[in-house]
């Protein structure tokens, strides 16, 4: 199961629904009812309509009950007022070893320092960076939910 946060008119939702196949589900969530309506109209009567579940989130809460394997957060995390709370909710709905892919706009929106701060907030609640894909004009990171006990058990000791 995939969660497309801030799905807008569904550009990524539609493509991910094609990728997950007949047994997969994409939860497309957005704050704006109008965006969900656009997506609903795009998929109406198509084979992927059954694979996309539309969900209107609140400004301070995603509000889904399902556990997901993957979360896409494209150009939206910088707009979240309380990122710590946001990442706590993401962690609560991610399955063990689940991943969140965050892509943020580089130009005029998210500085390198601000993006590092976002990653530190995610790490602080137990989401571990596993990859930093290069995406044109963007800053990006893939974070993974891991068992913190295993993470510390596998950590190499450092000398002080």
Question: Residue 156's pLDDT is what?
Answer: 47
Q: Where are the beta strands (DSSP E) in 6-160?
A: 26-30, 52-56, 68-74, 94-105, 127-131, 138-145
pLDDT tier at 83, thresholds 50, 70, 90: very high
pLDDT tier at 159, thresholds 50, 70, 90: very low
Q: Where are the domains of the chain?
A: 2-153
Q: Does domain 2-153 have CATH number 3.40.50.720?
A: no
pLDDT, tens digit (0-9, with 9 covering 90-100), for 87-140: 999 999 999 999 999 999 998 789 999 999 999 999 999 999 999 999 999 999
Q: What percent of the chain has pLDDT over 70?
A: 92
* Structure tokens that stand for 152 in this block: 């510390």
User: Is 28 exposed, middle or buried, given 0-12, 13-18 or 19+ CB atoms closer than 10 A?
Assistant: buried
Question: Residue 158's pLDDT is what?
Answer: 40
Average pLDDT over residues 36-48: 96
pLDDT tier at 57, thresholds 50, 70, 90: very high
Pairing between β-strand 94-105 and β-strand 68-74 as defined by DSSP bridges: parallel
pLDDT(154) > 70? no
Which residues have C-beta within 8 Å of that of residue 19, sequence separation ≥ 6? none
Rounded CA separation 150/128 (Å): 12
Question: Most distant CA pair in the chain: distance in Å?
Answer: 63
């Amino acid at each position: 199961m995939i969660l497309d946060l801030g799905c807008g008119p569904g550009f990524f939702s539609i493509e991910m629904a094609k990728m997950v196949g007949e047994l997969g589900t994409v939860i497309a969530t957005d704050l704006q009812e109008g965006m969900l309506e656009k997506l609903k109209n795009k998929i109406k009567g198509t084979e992927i309509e059954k694979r996309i579940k539309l969900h209107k989130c609140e400004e301070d809460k995603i509000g889904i009950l399902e556990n997901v394997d993957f979360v896409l957060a494209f150009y939206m995390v910088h707009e979240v007022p309380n990122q710590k709370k946001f990442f706590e909710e993401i962690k609560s709905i991610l399955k063990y070893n689940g991943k969140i892919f965050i892509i943020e706009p580089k130009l005029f929106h998210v500085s390198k320092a601000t993006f590092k701060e976002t990653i530190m907030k995610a790490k602080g609640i137990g989401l571990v960076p596993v990859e930093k894909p290069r995406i044109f004009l963007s800053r990006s990171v893939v974070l993974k939910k891991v068992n913190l006990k295993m993470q510390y058990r596998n950590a190499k000791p450092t000398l002080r």
